[in-house]
Amino acid sequence: MTELTGVYPGTFDPITNGHIDIIRRGLSLVDHMVIGVATNPSKSPMFSLEERVAMVDREVSPLVEKFGKSVKVQPFDELLMNFARRVGAGVIIRGLRAVSDFEYEFQMTGMNYMLHPGIETVFLMADPRYQTIASKLVKEVAIYGGDIAPFVPPQVREDVMARLAETNAK
């Protein structure tokens, strides 16, 4: 049987417990996973592309050991379907939170399917424990002095706090 590679794309600014849950569950569906970190300058990220790639890499390494599957973290700045084809992926993995994700995902999946009918998009429902977590809100909570410990891994919390301290010192 041929081995299946899945691409999990996102901005990961920063990676949250919700993303990690999708990665963990996605790993049980595929043989190899490529986590694609999108440049996404339009979202004015708090962390540079290099920082986000390093952060995701650091946070997924314990999972790689646990699941014994290959996981690569790669930056990308091209059409998702071209990236997926380039890395030999058979499926795209996306997480689905509330109704608000649905509209956008529905449209994007439809267009992507028209571009490359051979590559399916698979949606994993957000775990109710992580349903409300979004990178954007994590940043907002941190900016206004809230504790982001329930939403992100401990080291990511440190990274966000350090970045805010740097920005405030400027």
Which are the catalytic amino acids?
19, 43, 97, 135
Per-residue x/- mask for ligand ADP, residues 45 to 84, rule CB under 6 A?
Answer: ----------------------------------------
Torsion, CA 3, CA 105, CA 60, CA 38, rounded to 10: 100
Q: How far is the CB of 81 from ligand ADP (least distance, A)?
A: 14
Query: Judged by CB, which is closer to ligand ADP: 18, or 153?
Result: 18
Q: What DSSP assignment string belongs to 53-118? A: HHHHHHHHHHHHHHH--EEEEEEE-S-HHHHHHHTT-SEEEEEE-SHHHHHHHHHHHHHHHHH-TT
Q: Which of 6, 7, 12, 33 binds ligand ADP (CB under 6 A)?
A: 12
d(CA 83, CA 36): 8
Q: Which stretch binds ligand ADP (CB under 6 A): 4-12, 61-69, 109-117, 156-164?
A: 4-12
Q: How far is the CB of 166 from ligand ADP (least distance, A)?
A: 22
CB 26 within 8 A of CB 33: yes
d(CA 50, CA 34): 16
Q: Is 97 in the site for ligand ADP (CB under 6 A)?
A: yes
d(CA 112, CA 82): 10
Q: Which of 7, 135, 138, 152 binds ligand ADP (CB under 6 A)?
A: 135
Q: Is 10 in the site for ligand ADP (CB under 6 A)?
A: yes
DSSP label at residue 45: -
Residues that bind ligand ADP (CB under 6 A): 10-12, 16, 18-19, 22, 40, 94-95, 97, 101, 126, 130, 133-135
